[in-house]
Amino acid sequence: MSNYFEWNAEIYSVQVPAMDRGHQMIISCMNRLHTQNQAKAPVAQLARIVDELVQVTVKHFNEEETYMASIGFPDLAKHKIIHKTLLGKITEHKAQFDATGKLTDEFFAFLKVWLKAHICGIDIKYGRHRLAA
């Protein structure tokens, strides 16, 4: 069975190894969540993975913001706002899961679109900035 989300360096690498590792951790968490959900794992087990996903995401956003500051990335403030908005949405989905014990298709669709659009559309910019410097 193929993973829910496949890492592909050609498409997703931002050319900053530490940040790529953060993205891979988030992706591996999403894949685990998807697999366990399909396998109808107990809610408590899913809840642990959801918590982990939130934690690795918060950690990654912080690392990314520190990194962008360190290279003098000009769009840092804008990028921070986008992270905040994303975290808000993840928190909403998590609250819904906590209330219902169910992970919806919308939740997985959101994770997938979020990661693709954010890495390829937004994160890639600090990688380019660094390469251009």
The 8-class DSSP code of residue 122 comes to I
Residue with Cβ nearer Fe ion (109 or 120): 120
Judge whether 122 and 82 are in contact, CB under 8 Å.
yes
Please report, in angstroms and rounded to a whole number, the separation of the first and last CA atoms in the chain: 42
The torsion angles phi and psi of 101, rounded to 5 degrees, stand at 75, 10
Does 123 help bind Fe ion (rule: CB under 5 A)? yes
CB of 1 to Fe ion, least distance (A): 26
Does 20 help bind Fe ion (rule: CB under 5 A)? no
Judge whether 63 and 93 are in contact, CB under 8 Å.
no
Judge whether 15 and 123 are in contact, CB under 8 Å.
no
Of 42-50, 68-76, 108-116, 117-125, the window that binds Fe ion (rule: CB under 5 A) is: 117-125
CB of 43 to Fe ion, least distance (A): 29
Query: For the window 42-71, what string marks contact with Fe ion as x by the rule CB under 5 A?
Result: ----------------------x-------
Residue with Cβ nearer Fe ion (43 or 87): 87
CB atoms within 10 A of CB 20: 18
Interacting residues toward Fe ion by CB under 5 A: 64, 123
